[in-house]
Amino acid sequence: MNAKFLLPQHYELVSAYPIIIFSFCLFPLLILSSIKKISLKGFKTPDELLSIDSSLILRGIAAIIVMIHHYSLRMVNPSKMYYFWHTGYIAVFIFFFLSGYASFTQLKRKGDTFWNKYFINRFLRLLIPFVIINTIASIFYLPSPIMYLKAMISLKRILGNESEWIIIWFLAAILFFTILFWASFRFVKEEKYALIIFLLGSVAYAAVNIFVLHHNNFWFNTTPAFFTGIMYARFKPIISDFLNRTKIFLLPLAAIFAAALFFLTTKGYQHWSIQMLCGEFILILVIFFDEYAVLRSVILKRIGIASWELFLIHPLIYSIYYSVCKDRYGISGIVCIILSIVSGILINLFDDFIFSALKRIVIR
């Protein structure tokens, strides 16, 4: 490598207050501003629950949480931002939940035509941004051609020297569950057996990561949410009816358990089982939130559309910024997040252009 960039935990700010205000005040206000109607009367029809717009807004919220989370990990003196050290897996829970929900919903809507060009569409949507952003990274890190090809083939980010490469675990997980979804629902006509196969595959994925590969928690602690999303899509009317009948008791209980489990994670109890339980209780709150609120936000929707590009580009933006700039007013964290959002959206627009062009050539 011929370029040098700062590693995590090297980001010093003159003051942490600007990023604290952004994370604990401005960001929550952005979420609140997206709520156009709220009522505990359950006014939505099953088709209106977790609509495309709502799903994209939730993706946008999760994407910002991930960016704040990764920035807080890089702060030398995190102060109150320490609490965002423990929010990354929660955001990824939402991503996997929405992916499972969308996959099953589209399958039920389209039937067998859903499988037409299934892998080509999904792999291109995942890999085009990866290739583009890794290529952008190579401009700054200047790897050798062999190192560049090795990173592309092994699905690794180009970050600094070879010892700094980070496996895109999320990409690997999404690819696995894309294949598992196909294997479970493409050939098995009995839906209950397909669900069982997918559940067993999910358990096997976690077991291999825990006991064979000995991966860190983040490789597997959020993946059960994909199955949760499928189950919600499958039984949405039943679940919606149950929530409306038990909301007086279930909503506060879910909030208490989610808060208690999250508090445990901030006190050092980072076992994957605690994180999984916390994530599932938070998904109950997300479902309640969608059940009783109408969401509209152009900003969060646009961020949600570009969430995959944002996930890939924001660590590079952070490193580049802190390699060439010094924090003078304490606003570097906010600047980094805004630059990441703008860059991710622009790359997403370029990705759409590339995908459309390839679609005309490859997907006929």
Please state the rounded mean pLDDT for residues 90-104. Answer: 97
Q: How confident is the model at residue 19 (pLDDT cuts 50, 70, 90)?
A: very high
Neighbours of 335 (CB within 10 A): 16
Q: What is the DSSP string of 221-257?
A: TTTHHHHHHHHHHHTHHHHHHHHHHHHHHHHHHHHHH
Mean pLDDT, to the nearest integer, of 4-11?
Answer: 62
Residue 343 burial (CB count, 10 A): 20
> For the whole model, what pTM was predicted?
0.94
- CA 137 to CA 220: how far, in whole Å? 27
* Mean pLDDT within 192-216: 95
pLDDT at 18: 96
Question: Which among 318, 258, 316 is positioned nearest to 93, based on CA atoms?
Answer: 258
Q: Which residues contact 72 (CB under 8 A, 6 or more apart)?
A: 19, 23, 78, 81, 82, 84, 85
Band of pLDDT at residue 45, cut at 50, 70 and 90: confident
pLDDT score for 9:
56
Check pLDDT > 80 for residue 238. yes
Q: How many residues are present in the chain?
A: 364
**pLDDT for 344 beyond 60:** yes
Three-state SS for 37? strand
Q: Which residue would you say has higher pLDDT here, 274 or 328?
A: 274
| Nearest alpha carbon to residue 11 among 338, 334, 339, 240 | 334
Separation between Cα atoms, residue 355 and residue 345, nearest integer Å: 15
Mean pLDDT for the stretch of residues 120-145: 90
Q: Region of 190 please: left (phi>0), alpha (psi -120 to 50) or beta.
A: beta
Contact 295, 238 (CB under 8 A): no
Give the pLDDT score at 8: 52
Q: State mean pLDDT over 110-126.
A: 92
Q: Among residues 240, 215, 212, 227, which one has the least CA distance to residue 181?
A: 227
pLDDT in tens, 162-200: 545 566 789 989 999 999 999 999 999 899 999 999 999
Q: How far apart are CA 143 and CA 3, in angstroms?
A: 9
221 confidence band (pLDDT: 50, 70, 90): very high
User: Which residues fall within 8 angstroms of residue 218, CB to CB, at 6 or more apart?
Assistant: 88, 89, 92, 169
pLDDT value at 99 more than 80 = yes
The pLDDT of residue 361 is 74
In this prediction, residues 38-65 reach a mean pLDDT of: 91
Highest mean pLDDT among 49-53, 136-140, 227-231, 266-270: 227-231
Alpha-carbon distances of 2 from 5, 159, 162, 206, rounded to whole Å: 10, 12, 12, 38
Task: Flag the least confident range among 39-43, 123-127, 185-189.
Answer: 39-43
Instruction: Give residue 43's pLDDT band: very low, low, confident or very high (50, 70, 90).
Output: confident
pLDDT at 81: 94
Percent of the chain with pLDDT over 90: 72
Q: What is the mean pLDDT of residues 282-299?
A: 96
